[in-house]
């Protein structure tokens, strides 16, 4: 195990009593300071992995270490956890609620008061600190929950769907807070269905499907590996016919009437074939790809084929 590993799992498998294999031989390392995005469809195993990391359940097979601890609950004092569906007692004020949670974390006296005030300011709730939680908006409550995760100044933050169900402004506020934590060097494990959000907040990602980790890597490398060049043919040239005549099908990822889309790595070879055959070209331009494209192509390659054939 790497000395810089905050989370390290090898061959991690979880089979529930009903026989469902929620995780299947997952090997993963999250280094200190990394912002890791965990992606997958419903039922892919994201929640199971989070529960294992938090020590709420135990693996069926494999090894898991959190902050170097094999018994991961020993690492709890250095973790911050935001549940997908948090619950708070609405009759409390924001300050009173965090004060109570700080006491449960072992903070006392002036240190407790200072820490509560600090995290309230950190999530931009200082002005509303003494208002009842029943008056808070959903976005304010979510920011309060993030403040709670910060009370113990954790080394690792586990954020499960941090912007789920929030309006656009509240989502932006929460992302700003997470972005600042990332700049501070906090290690983040973020589970989210919002792939644009993952691309924005994470430097590394992993994609789970049916309990297996089918792809992982740096966001920039995964996205750059999907870079595409669009070639628009001139004079009524039909992309499908040209592709077949020049025998360049293996280099073409998409076709639409007069348009060819090819991987950037194949640009030189395809251009040479078109020029040598005297096929007129109207334009050529690179197309940016997103993490969403990577996710769809990885988990649902048949959906990509259908989309291309439909001329989307």
Residue 305 lies in a domain: no
- Whether residue 235 sits in one domain with residue 188: no
- Whether residue 168 sits in one domain with residue 232: no
- Whether residue 86 sits in one domain with residue 21: yes
* pLDDT for res 309: 37
- Whether residue 246 sits in one domain with residue 214: no
Residue 272 lies in a domain: yes
CB atoms closer than 10 angstroms to residue 219: 19
Question: Domain count of the chain?
Answer: 2
- pTM, 2 dp: 0.82
Question: pLDDT tens across 79-107, in order?
Answer: 999 998 888 989 999 999 999 999 998 99
Residue 293 lies in a domain: no
Would you place residue 225 in the very low, low, confident or very high pLDDT band (cuts 50, 70, 90)?
A: low
Read off the CATH number of the domain in which 102 is found: 3.40.50.300
Residue 278 lies in a domain: yes
CA atoms within 13 A on the CB side of 101: 26
Q: Which of 83-92, 201-210, 225-234, 259-268 has the lowest mean pLDDT?
A: 225-234
- Whether residue 120 sits in one domain with residue 211: yes
Read off the CATH number of the domain in which 231 is found: 3.30.70.980
Question: pLDDT tens across 4-13, in order?
Answer: 799 999 999 9
Residue 264 lies in a domain: yes
Tell me what the mean pLDDT of segment 52-68 comes to.
Answer: 96
Position 256 pLDDT exceeds 90: no
- Whether residue 166 sits in one domain with residue 95: yes
Q: Which of 172, 193, 218 delimits the end of a domain? A: 218
Residue 306 lies in a domain: no
Residue 300 lies in a domain: no
Tell me what the mean pLDDT of segment 20-38 comes to.
Answer: 97
All residues at 6 or more sequence positions from 228 whose CB lies less than 8 Å from its CB, including other chains: 253, 254, 261, 262, 263, 264, 286, 287, 289
Position 311 pLDDT exceeds 90: no
Q: Which domain holds residue 159?
A: 5-218
Higher per-residue confidence, 254 vs 310? 254
Would you place residue 303 in the very low, low, confident or very high pLDDT band (cuts 50, 70, 90)?
A: low
Tell me what the mean pLDDT of segment 258-280 comes to.
Answer: 91
* pLDDT for res 17: 94
- Whether residue 252 sits in one domain with residue 233: yes
Residue 163 lies in a domain: yes
Q: Which of 172, 197, 218 delimits the end of a domain? A: 218
* pLDDT for res 306: 38
Tell me what the mean pLDDT of segment 53-57 comes to.
Answer: 95
């Amino acid at each position: 195990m790497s000395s810089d590993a905050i989370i390290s799992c090898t061959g991690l498998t979880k089979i529930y009593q009903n026989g469902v294999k929620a995780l299947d031989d997952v090997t993963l390392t999250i280094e200190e300071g990394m912002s890791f995005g965990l992606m997958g469809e419903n039922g892919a195993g994201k929640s199971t992995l989070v529960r294992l990391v938090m020590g709420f359940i135990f693996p069926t097979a494999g090894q898991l270490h959190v902050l170097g601890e094999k018994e991961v609950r020993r690492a709890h004092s250095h973790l911050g956890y935001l549940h997908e569906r948090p619950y708070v007692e609405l009759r409390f004020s924001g300050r009173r609620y965090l004060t109570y949670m700080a006491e449960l974390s072992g903070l006392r006296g002036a240190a407790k008061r200072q820490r509560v005030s600090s995290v309230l300011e950190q999530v931009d709730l200082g002005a509303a600190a003494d208002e009842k939680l029943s008056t808070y908006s959903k976005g304010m409550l979510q920011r309060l929950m993030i403040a709670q995760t910060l009370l113990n100044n954790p080394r690792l933050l586990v954020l499960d769907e941090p912007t789920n169900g929030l309006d656009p402004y509240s989502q932006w506020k929460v992302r700003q807070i997470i972005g600042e934590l990332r700049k501070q060097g906090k290690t983040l494990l973020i589970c989210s269905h919002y792939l644009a959000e993952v691309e924005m907040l994470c430097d590394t990602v992993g994609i789970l499907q049916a309990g297996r980790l089918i792809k992982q890597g740096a966001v920039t490398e995964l996205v750059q590996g999907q870079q595409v060049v669009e070639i628009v043919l001139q004079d009524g040239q039909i992309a499908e016919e040209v592709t077949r005549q020049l025998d360049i099908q293996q280099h073409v990822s998409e076709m639409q009437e007069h348009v060819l889309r090819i991987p950037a790595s194949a640009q030189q070879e395809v251009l040479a074939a078109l020029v040598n055959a005297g096929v007129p070209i109207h334009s050529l331009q690179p197309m940016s790809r997103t993490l969403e494209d990577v996710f769809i192509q990885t988990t649902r390659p048949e959906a990509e084929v259908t989309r291309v054939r439909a001329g989307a």
